[in-house]
């Protein structure tokens, strides 16, 4: 396939950050623990607004939120409670782990994150929400509070709609680069995809529609937010009942961003791919993504199952498995079909969907023989590519991580990057990863709702995966691995007070 300039740029970063047996052994990287970036951002000196503690959990079954129609909004609910629920069930702290040997304690959140480093920050603009001051806020997950960074009407500058609530997800690439170096930008994008779905599904559980926008002028949004080391990646417009509001007096507090590390190490490849996927205000809107041309595979997926576990409980109990139990425990073919139905349901985003498809390493699924399969979302079918035990391959390709073999099923999510570039230019690199992260997030929640667990896997030998899947150059690039099964017990998890 001939490469144009945009595709070349996008591939240059992707190629340069591939893992291979040789690349992992070529450079030794030891983690500088003393310089580990602080996982919580605060804007010091801003007025803070408490969000009500322990907000009521959304009780609709999580699978209904993933696969069915949303419940109606609660007309009696105050804005403070609504915002508290939105953040509590999408990105707040939900667990603590204790490393007994060192006494080190750290927190985990509702949204997962590569290395638990949490590069994503959540800002929001509110306008006309009853009993809530119009303004620009930053969510502080460490205390479940909102920092008021400015009063007035900021929504119009951040959205193209009249949405009374707009979240802007930014990323702090250094947080991930500290550990993952140049490859970290991929993880920032995947994390943003998870965070987007975490917010969108919580909004849905509260009866609101969430529309994501990836296509905006980067500099203008960054300037509006008054951020420097945070890069805006996604704007999420949330449709919530509101009254027209003139916005009141605009007063800027801003606040001082806390310093995250003593020293910041530069990663020029990350700066370059981020800059080359940035847009100016004058750029035309994106093309809408047509679905991938369908190929009908021979194995029809059964209809999804139902499960009663409530959304609120599901999202707060979600945890990544350290490893899976292996052994004889299986999931059913219908449960696997439910994961796929949830993961590949259309998204509400200006960049569409259909850039990513799943390949499956089926280890222990009742009613489906072990083997390597390709999923075709438009026709809802699977195609068997290689029969037989895939455990060794799944683990070996996932950088030797056992959890990819001990799961019931492991996925390679493969993105059509030339198509992403043809539709969206270099910006398409972001969108392919957002989509993969979003699919992974829905897999996490669907599995948890059905009583088993998952783990996102960002580390894999890229070109070995392509060779094993039989992908010729230009046919697709693996962007994410994901495993689901029955988690082993994690003794570090502490009960939440
Ligand atoms: C994009 C992404 C990549 C990840 N890659 C790996 C991985 O390669 N291996 C692994 O064991 N866990 C991986 N994880 C799981 C994280 O370690 C986990 O989300 C984090 O420790 C927080 O734990 P929690 O998901 O229970 O909140 C990944 C998670 C994400 C979102």
Mark whether 267 and 293 lie in a shared domain. Answer: no
- Whether residues 259 and 298 fall in one domain: no
In a domain, 472, yes or no: yes
Select from 109, 198, 456 the residue to mutate for testing ligand 1; criterion: most ligand atoms less than 8 Å from CB. 456
- For residue 74, what is the domain's CATH number? 3.40.109.10
* Cα(186) to centroid(ligand 1), Å: 13
Please name the residues in contact with 61: beta carbons below 8 A apart, sequence gap of 6 or more.
306, 307, 308, 309, 310, 311, 449
Residue 381 lies in a domain: yes
CA dihedral 170, 175, 181, 186 (to 10 degrees): -30
Q: Name residues whose C-beta falls within 8 Å of residue 157's C-beta, 6 or more positions apart in sequence.
A: 125, 220, 224
pLDDT on residue 231: 98
Same domain, 266 and 322: no
Beta bridge partners of 252: 150
Q: How far is the CA of 116 from the centre of ligand 1 (A)?
A: 7
Cα 187 to ligand 1 centre (Å): 10
What's the CA-to-centroid distance between 1 and ligand 1, angstroms? 34
pTM, two decimal places = 0.96
pLDDT of 475: 87
- Mean pLDDT (whole number) for 104-118: 96
In a mutational test of the pocket of ligand 1, which residue from 24, 115, 169 has the highest number of ligand atoms less than 8 Å from its CB? Answer: 115
Clarify whether residues 259 and 321 are in a common domain.
no
Q: What is the mean pLDDT of the chain?
A: 93
More confident call, 25 vs 121: 121
Q: What percent of the chain has pLDDT over 90?
A: 85
Whether 263 and 310 map to the same domain: the answer is no
> Do 106 and 164 have their domain in common?
yes
Same domain for 329 and 241, yes or no, is no
The predicted-structure confidence for 244-300, as pLDDT tens digits, reads as follows 877 678 899 999 999 999 999 999 999 999 999 999 875 665 555 554 444 446 899
Token pair, residue 356, equals 């990513």
In a domain, 212, yes or no: yes
Q: Ligand 1: which of 94, 96, 113, 198 to mutate, most ligand atoms within 8 Å of CB?
A: 113
Confirm whether 333 is domain-assigned.
yes
Of 276, 298, 333, which residue is a domain's last?
276
Containing structural domain, residue 316: 5-9+289-494
Separation between Cα atoms, residue 381 and residue 341, nearest integer Å:
11
What residues flank ligand 1, with Cβ below 6 Å? Answer: 108-109, 112-116, 187, 190-191, 194, 319-320, 401, 455-459
CB atoms within 10 A of CB 474: 14
Q: With respect to residue 340, please indicate whether it lies within any of the assigned structural domains.
A: yes
Do 44 and 132 share a domain, yes or no? Answer: yes
CA of 61 to the centre of ligand 1 (A): 25
DSSP labels, 165-219: EEEEEEE-HHHHHHHHGGGHHHHHHHHHHHHHHHHHHHHHHTT-EEEEE--S-HH
d(CA 58, CA 110): 14
- For ligand 1, the distance from its centroid to the CA atom of residue 316, given in whole angstroms, is 16
How many structural domains compose the chain?
2
Residue 18 lies in a domain: no
Q: Is the pLDDT of residue 35 over 50?
A: yes
Q: What pLDDT shows up at residue 496?
A: 66
- Kindly give the number of the ligand 1 atom that is closest to the alpha carbon of 437: 1
Q: Same domain for 332 and 375?
A: yes
Claim to verify: residue 443 and residue 333 sit in the same structural domain? yes
Residue 67's pLDDT is what?
98
Phi-psi domain of 476 (left: phi exceeds 0; alpha: psi -120 through 50; beta: other):
left
Distance CA 420, CA 429 (A): 7
Where among 241, 276, 311 does a domain terminate?
276
Q: What atom of ligand 1 comes closest to residue 187's alpha carbon?
A: 1
Question: Does one domain contain both 398 and 431?
Answer: yes
- Residue at 19 is within a domain: no
- pLDDT classification of 378: cutoffs 50, 70, 90: very high
For the segment 134-144, the average pLDDT, to the nearest whole number, is 97
Last residue of a domain, one of 231, 251, 276: 276
In this structure, is residue 477 part of a structural domain? Answer: yes
Q: How many whole angstroms from 277 Cα to the centroid of ligand 1?
A: 25
Question: Can you tell me which atom of ligand 1 is nearest the CA of 455?
Answer: 15
- 361 in Cβ contact with 372 (< 8 Å): yes
Asked if residue 118 and residue 91 are part of one domain, the reply reads yes
């Amino acid at each position: 396939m001939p490469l144009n300039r945009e595709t070349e740029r996008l591939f240059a970063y992707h190629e340069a950050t591939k893992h291979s047996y040789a690349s992992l052994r070529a450079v030794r990287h030891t983690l500088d623990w003393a310089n580990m970036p602080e996982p919580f951002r605060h804007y010091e000196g801003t007025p803070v607004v408490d969000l009500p503690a322990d907000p009521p959990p959304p009780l609709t079954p999580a699978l209904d939120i993933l696969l069915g129609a949303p419940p109606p909004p609660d007309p009696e609910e105050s804005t403070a409670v609504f915002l508290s629920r939105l953040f509590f069930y999408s990105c707040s702290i939900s667990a603590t782990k204790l490393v007994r040997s060192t006494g080190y304690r750290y927190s985990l959140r509702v949204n997962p994150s590569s290395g638990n480093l949490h590069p994503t920050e959540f800002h929001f603009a509110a306008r006309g929400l009853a009993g809530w001051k119009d303004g620009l806020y930053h969510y502080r997950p460490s205390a479940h509070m909102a920092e008021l960074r400015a009063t007035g009407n900021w929504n119009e500058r951040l959205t193209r709609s009249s949405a009374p609530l707009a979240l802007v997800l930014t990323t702090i690439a250094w947080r991930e680069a500290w550990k993952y170096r140049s490859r970290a930008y991929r993880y920032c994008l995947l994390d943003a995809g998870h965070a987007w779905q975490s917010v969108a599904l919580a909004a849905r559980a509260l009866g609101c529609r969430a529309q994501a926008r990836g296509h905006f002028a980067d500099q203008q949004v960054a300037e509006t937010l008054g951020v420097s080391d945070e890069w805006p990646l996604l704007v999420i417009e949330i449709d919530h009942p509101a009254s027209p509001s003139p916005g009141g007096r605009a007063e800027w507090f801003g606040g001082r961003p806390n310093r995250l590390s003593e020293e910041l190490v530069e990663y020029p490849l990350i700066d370059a791919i981020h800059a080359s996927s940035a847009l100016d205000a004058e750029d035309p809107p994106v093309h809408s993504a047509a679905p991938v041309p369908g190929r009908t595979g021979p194995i029809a997926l059964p209809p999804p199952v139902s499960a009663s576990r409530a959304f609120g409980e599901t999202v707060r109990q979600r945890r990544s498995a350290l490893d899976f139990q292996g052994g004889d425990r299986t999931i059913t073919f219908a449960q696997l079909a439910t994961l796929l139905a949830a993961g590949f349901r259309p998204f509400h985003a200006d960049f569409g969907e259909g850039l990513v498809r799943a390949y499956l390493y089926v280890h222990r699924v009742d009613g489906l023989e072990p083997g390597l399969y390709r999923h075709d979302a438009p026709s809802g079918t699977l195609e068997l590519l290689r029969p037989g035990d895939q455990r060794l391959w799944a683990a070996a390709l996932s950088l030797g991580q056992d959890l990819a073999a001990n799961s019931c099923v492991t996925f390679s999510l493969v993105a059509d990057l030339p198509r992403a570039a043809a539709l969206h230019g270099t910006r398409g690199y972001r969108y392919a990863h957002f989509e993969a992260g979003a699919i992974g997030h829905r897999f996490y929640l669907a599995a948890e709702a059905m009583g088993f667990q998952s783990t996102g896997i960002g580390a894999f030998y890229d070109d070995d995966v392509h060779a094993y899947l039989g992908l010729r150059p230009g046919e697709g690039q693996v962007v994410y691995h994901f495993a689901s099964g029955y988690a082993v017990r994690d003794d570090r998890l502490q009960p939440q007070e």
